[in-house]
Structure 1
Amino acid sequence: MMSALRRPGPRLAAAGILIAAALVMGRLGTNWALPGDIAMAAAAVISTIPIAAAALRALRSRTIGIDLLVTIASIGALAIGNYWEAAAVTFLFAFGHVLEQGAMTRTRSALTDLVRSAPQDAVLVRDGRTETVPTRTLRPDDVVLVAAGSSVPVDGTVISGSGAADESAVTGESMPAEKTPGDQVRSGTTLTSGMVQVRAEKVGSQTLLARIVARVEEAQDARGRVQTMMDRFGRWYTPAIIVLAIVVGLISGSLTLALTLLVIGCPGALVISVPVAVVAGIGRGARDGILIRGGEHLETAAKADTVVFDKTGTLTTGHPELTDVVAYGAADEEEVLRWAALAEIGSGHPLAGPILDAARSHGVAPEGVPGEADAIPGRGLIADVLDAEHPQTRHRVVVGTVELAGQELGYDKESDTAWAARTSARLAGGGATPVTVVRDGVLLGVLAIADTIRADAPAALARLRRTGVTRLVMLSGDRQEVASAVADQLGIDDARGGLLPEDKLAAVQELRAGGAVVAMVGDGINDAPALAAADVGVAMGAAGSALAVETSDIALMADDLTRLPESLRLARRTRAVIRQNIVIAVATVTLLLAGVLLGGVTMALGMLVHEASVLVVIVNALRLLGRRARTREESRQDQAGKQDQPWQTSEHGGSRSGRPGASPQQQAA
């Protein structure tokens, strides 16, 4: 019996039964008064013991908390014979505490779901046989079999089989992803169809899921600025209430009034108002694939008014493609592309990939041994190549900027250089990087290579504006003309090109010095200085980088730009809930204290209202766990963003400038 009463549930039930029995005895007549008082006192003692124990533990750590206020009030009420008040106050307080713990458990449900998504057992493939083993015994290079309906136990690579994986536990993305040999899979994701064998690369605490669980756990326990302020407030508020109760008791000569003040002054709703909202907000984010590092970063993100983007891989796809081929003179488009590819093969030039890919797709890929190429940093390259059609003939091919081409063409071909300059300017104005091709002193034409804008970028930026962001800035290492063209298409306020990492850092520092609260969005690695300097550093597509999960303030697990406005909106919703909770808590305590001093509010009634305010605060915070309904306007803009791409695709991956039957000069006009 005694062991059962050590648990909150049975102890609360026993106290409730005794209180109910005492109330029934009170209606049976005076002969039942003493047994009723004994039952009520017993209920008060059962409820007070754990509260008093908590108060003593707090006192040992030099903390005066709510438990001490309730303990003093209960003992005092028992001493003066107010058994009903003592029992009611402690029972309501204990009941509220149980509800509070249940609510906090629910707010941490996202973390619980993450932990549960990690399987405890795995099917190990060894020597052609399978055996079920505990997941903790797996080692790197082990091969595991994952069937439909099972969770992946490791981070690794699919080596055989195929299927579809539900990755929502990690990225928040609801659509299953196809998995075939060579694809990466993550621990905690579930195979919805098919069967695969996976070679383990990371196991146990090294998996991405384990890192996410650790990060969410730390974040939910971390204290933000408002919560720290509440803690400091509590350090002097509770002793102040004790002093006030003593002073009022001495002046009024009423011990009951003093004890009632102790109960009414309990700042329970105020104490829980911030942490329950922070935990719920971070939990909601974790469910949606948004990892927020802690309450402090949640509060800061709520105040962000300026969002700074790295261009490549954030606003653009990060995969440059050949978008235009403009031939000049007697040359045709395939000839321009073929000679550019001949020069680029084996060069290691940054733009070689898109040129060679386009050459292969159009059947003009270079053959044979690559020639010699001299790279000219920031300008292009000069290659000495063999013509496959005339093996004894070598050609000097220049691929690069207009300035480099102009030097190769010389003064006697200024009209050719002028055409290349006009064409390059027009292509750069469309957001592409122009590349001029010259062979043996003859201008062949101009290629355009562009890193296309992400399909989700227009809708994401529009939603950022609606969230309350007043300024959008883009920082890029690309040329200013290209950066400006991308910014114009996306409606970005400020675009800065030609920047080195230290320049991006200086730009972020400049914005902050001007009073802006800056959220910097990048890949979490290449833009590390600027991300660290921002008020909030946001890493995109963090599911592919454990480092980004560890170092960023906010990590968007899916490579989905629309999660960015969702993260800021969640931060603002959480801040609003915190403010609402603080107002509710302060207003309740103020009104109750006034009611006690003016008369009319008893100890039991005060505790009832106090616990009701705690429940209101908890329920208000639990609203954050629900997904905010999308507006019709957001759905419309998202659909428009998918249908209206910044660059229309063609056989080159973009729009072709050349028109059949038009002269090069007409094409460039």
Structure 2
Amino acid sequence: MGTAWNRRNALLAWVALGLAIGTALALTDRALAARIVWSAAALPVALHVGLAAAQALAGGRVGVDVIALAAILGAAALDEAAAAAVVALMVAGGEALEDWAQGRAKRSLTALAARAPRRAARLAEGTVEEIDAAAIRPGDTLLVRPGETVPADGTLADAEAVLDESALTGEPLPRRLRTGAELRSGAVNAGAAFRMRATASAEASTYAAIVRLAEQAAASRAPLTRLADRFAVVFIAATAVVSGLAWVFSGDPVRALAVLVVATPCPLILAAPIALVAGVGRAAARGIVVKGAGVIERLARIRIVLFDKTGTLTPGRPRLAAIETVPGLRREAALRLAAALAQGSTHPVSAALVAAARERGLAVPAPEAAAETAGGGLSGHVDGQAVLLGSEGFLRERGLAPPETLAIAASLAVAGSVAWLAVGGRVVAAFVMADGLRPEVRRTVRRLRALGVERIGLVTGDRGEAAAPVAAVLRLDAVHAGVSPAGKIAAVHEERARGTVAMVGDGVNDAPALAAADVGIAMGAHGTAAAAEAADAVLLVDRVDRAAEAMAIARRSRAIAIQAIVLGMALSGIAMGFAAFGHLPPLIGALVQEAIDVAAILFALTALRPGRDDVAPAPLPDEAGLADRVAEHAGLRRLAERLREGAEAVGDGPESLRALATLEADLRAELLPHQAEEEQALYPAAARRLGGRDPMGPLIRMHAEIEALCRRLASLLHLAEQQDGWNGASAELRRTLFALEALLTLHLAAEEEALAELASEAR
């Protein structure tokens, strides 16, 4: 590349100098000397073009370079040396402009390699040792100073670090991380110095893999370039016909020369690949590494998208979805016992139970004599009671069966798995676990539909009972459940019969399907190296909506490439008509064609800018309080659970009034102020960002309904506390509590989805 670039620039300098000297000689009435200088300037370019045309022909391609060659040689033969020099300048300048444009388009990719860490500071026996990044080994303690790049993957050893990950993810705002957080190489320290423990060598770390992917992306030739070559064959034939007819009907070979001059070099061979490479650069700036312009071209034609489930549509971490208990046992009491025993295991379900208990502020005691049965469950003692926690099979092996009162838990098993709790030889609770959808998934599916994707499906190794609810919520068109890696390949081939297929996945078991699809897209932030290597595009941000963004970028880039081809050919065709009728002499025609080339290439570079559909709303300012309001949602969800418990407790009679009064007071103290804060600061700021007449209207209407139900609850409690008032109020009290719980749960979900794009993490 460097040698070719130097040769092209040397040719450009030679032609420009010769044209300038020849022009000066012509202005001093030394016409013969001027023609000699102009011809001398043009002939080396003709030789360069001739060799390139011969190489292309040997490779089975015919390019419009042959028109440029004919124009230069024809101009020299017809004593139009000035036109020959201008055409030569046009060719050399076009190649130099192409180099500049591709460099501009690839800037985001080359910037990745330029920022690769070269040195690192290793802490050893209390001293700081400067080493090459290549010398980093797993287990090394490294010091990352302000402004330095994290040299290898690792974990944070200090209390806090502030990292700028914009080069990796496109996120403009720094992230604040705590002790033990995972660090990825390539991020820049935007705060104070911190220590980290390397978990991989620099070569095996995230940033090195990204650089390798970027190098692959920078060295490809797009299929659309071959499409441009096919256009070139048609264009050459049309040029030959028009120039021949112009000569025949006018009897003047200069007119034929003028047609050749305005027809070359056709901007389609420059503009089309530049637009696609610009798409690669645009994607890289958004944290999407696309392995070449050819992938951009294929991605733009995708009609079917298949998603893996675990780790792609879902975070891959189970969470507590519901708790069912026998009468007389409160849900929080059951969770406290389960979480206590779960502390003796590292299983994801155990971790989810412990996390749920901590979120609720429960004091979890330490278990005694905890023992784990692999693949089954846990046994031990908590508060002096014998406790079992595990699958239904684990409990049945010990002679315990869930009672009929917990049948609801079994029916909810489609949401995920169920962990059963037994205390004192009796099954008392069921914990329904679910791997919830990523918050951006619904919006991703809607955007894919808007982009013209005709079919969206799910391909997963999970059982059909777990996959069906996901497909139903997302309104997917196909579900391939319970399939092996080979089965995923078969699913891809089956869907390919309907159109071009993209596969999105993250795990080792997804790698074969990613390779089999027309375009494989890997979740690279936390996915496996095997998936990233097999895929055609890698999402460096742990957000599945970047897959839809990659498709939007690809479609816009391909559209611009085709528009640039049409623009260049149309303008050249018009100019050829003027030249054929004698209205454009060769010299003026050469200048016109140069302007056409520049216009087409600059138009192709617009693919670097975000399109109308690519621009997400700017994140809200801190004073809007979005982060604080979302953080309060965890407490409000617990409040919704208490509403359900309160409704169930109504059946206990007037004894539940005290707990219900406490619940109503908490609604006034927590929920209503939360809604008032949202309407005062958050919603107005969000409305300005989202646009439209009243984007927050539905959420405000929900607020009003929730407030009305809270007032109704207070009135009913007041009535129930009166003498003989319980019998008249209890049924309506129960309905009001259930209605309030349902509306509050729905409102929290709707609000989070509506505001998801306005959070800084979404950028």
TM-score range, shorter chain: 0.7 to 0.9
Q: Summarize the alignment of residues 57-68 of structure 1 with structure 2, pairs less than 5 Å apart.
A: 58-59=53-54, 62=58, 65-68=63-66
Deviation at residue 42 of structure 1 after TM alignment:
0.9
Give the match for residue 39 of structure 1. Answer: 34
What is the match of residue 322 of structure 2?
A: 324
Q: Which residue of 1 aligns with 2:27?
A: 24
Q: Which moved more, 1:583-592 or 1:60-69?
A: 60-69
Runs of 5+ unmatched residues, structure 1: 26-31
CA contact (8 A) 1:478 1:499 kept: yes
Contact 2:155/2:198 (CA < 8 Å) preserved in 1?
yes
Change (3 A) 1:421 1:507: farther
Aligned to 1:363: 363
2:298 paired with 1:300: yes
Report which structure shows greater RCO (CA 8 Å, sep ≥6).
1
Contact 2:343 2:350 in 1 (8 A): yes
* Contact 1:4 1:10 (C-alpha < 8 Å) held by counterparts: no
Give the TM-score normalised by the residue count of structure 2.
Answer: 0.72
> What are the within-5 Å matches in structure 2 for residues 269-668 of structure 1?
269-334=267-332, 336-337=334-335, 340=338, 351-358=349-356, 362-365=362-365, 367-371=367-371, 373=373, 375=375, 385=380, 389=384, 397=388, 399-401=390-392, 416-417=403-404, 419-425=405-411, 427-428=412-413, 431=415, 433-438=417-422, 442-478=426-462, 480-494=464-478, 498-513=482-497, 515-542=498-525, 545-628=528-611, 655=641, 658-659=645-646, 661-662=649-650
Q: TM-score, normalised by structure 1?
A: 0.81
More helix by share: 2
Counterpart position of 1:216: 214
Q: CA deviation at 1:283?
A: 0.7
Give the counterpart of 1:117 among 115, 124, 135.
115
SS at match of 2:443: helix
- Map of 1:48 onto structure 2: 43
SS at match of 1:329: coil
| Partners of 2:258 and 2:580 within 8 A in 1 | no
- Asked whether the 8 Å contact 1:142–1:199 carries over to 2, the reply is yes
One-letter amino acid matched to 1:611: E
Structure 1: how far apart are the matches of 2:615 and 2:553? Answer: 19
Q: Residues 40, 158 of structure 1: CA spacing in aligned structure 2 closer, same or farther, 3 A cutoff?
A: farther
**Once the 2 structures are TM-superposed, how far is the Cα of residue 276 of structure 1 from its aligned partner?**
0.6
Q: SS in structure 1 opposite 2:370?
A: coil
Instruction: Give the alignment partner of residue 188 of structure 2, picking from 187, 190, 206.
Output: 190
Distance 1:636 1:118, change over 3 A: closer
Instruction: Please state whether the residue corresponding to 1:542 is helix, strand or coil.
Output: coil
Contact 2:460 2:482 in 1 (8 A): yes
Aligned partner letter, 1:174:
P
| Aligned-partner residue type, residue 594 of structure 2 | E
CA distance in 2, matches of 1:202, 1:438: 43
Question: Quick one: structure 1 residues 38 and 494, their matched pair in 2 at CA, closer, same or farther if it must change by over 3 Å?
Answer: same
CA–CA distance in structure 2, aligned partners of residues 275 and 525 of structure 1:
33
| Change in CA separation of 1:178 and 1:266 when aligned onto 2, cut-off 3 Å | same
What is the alpha-carbon distance in structure 2 between the residues aligned to residue 4 and residue 470 of structure 1?
A: 48
* Stretch moving more, 467-476 or 567-576: 467-476
Distance 1:262 1:476, change over 3 A: same
2:12 and 2:639 map into 1 onto residues whose CA distance is: 66
Does the 8 Å CA contact 2:8/2:96 hold for their aligned counterparts?
no
Classify the secondary structure of the residue corresponding to 1:194. Answer: coil
The structure where strand makes up a greater share of residues is 1
Stretch of structure 1 that moved more, 245-254 or 211-220: 245-254
1:215 aligned counterpart, secondary structure: helix
> Alpha-carbon deviation of 1:487?
4.0
- Give aligned pairs, total: 641
Q: Structure 2: how far apart are the matches of 1:93 and 1:374?
A: 72
1:102 deviates by 1.8
Change in 2 beyond 3 A, CA 1:222/1:79: same
Q: 1:38 Cα deviation (Å)?
A: 1.6
- CA displacement at 1:423 relative to structure 2: 4.2
For 2:721, the equivalent position in structure 1 comes to: none
How many Å apart are 1:248 and its aligned residue?
A: 7.8
Pair 1:177 & 2:175 matched? yes
Are the aligned partners of 2:161 and 2:176 in contact in 1 as well (CA < 8 Å)?
A: yes
CA offsets, 1:114-144, max 9 Å, x none?
Answer: 2332245544555544465665676666654
Q: In angstroms, what is the RMSD of aligned CA positions?
A: 4.4
CA 1:24/1:135 → structure 2, altered by over 3 Å: closer, same or farther? farther
Q: Which runs of 5+ in 2 are unaligned?
A: 1-5, 653-733, 739-763
Per-residue CA deviations over 1:213-260 (Å, capped at 9, x if unaligned) read: 332232233233322333466579769967996898689765434444
In 2, Cα distance between equivalents of 1:331 and 1:181: 38
Please list the CA deviations of residues 350-383 of structure 1 after superposition, one character each: whole Å capped at 9, or x if unmatched: 63332344456633455122246475xxxx65x6
**Per-residue CA distance 1:460-501 (angstroms, 9 max, x = gap):** 333333222343333444554544444444444555655554
Q: Cα distance, 1:282 vs. partner? A: 0.3
Cα offset for 1:166? 0.8
Match of 1:36, as an amino acid? A
**Structure 1 CA distance for aligned equivalents of residues 568 and 7 of structure 2:** 34
TM superposition shift of 1:23: 5.2
Q: 1:534 to 1:326 in 2, by over 3 A?
A: same
What CA distance in whole angstroms lies between the structure 1 residues aligned with 2:562 and 2:9?
36
Structure 1 residues 331 and 501, CA gap change in structure 2 (3 angstroms): farther
Which amino acid is the alignment partner of residue 463 of structure 1? R
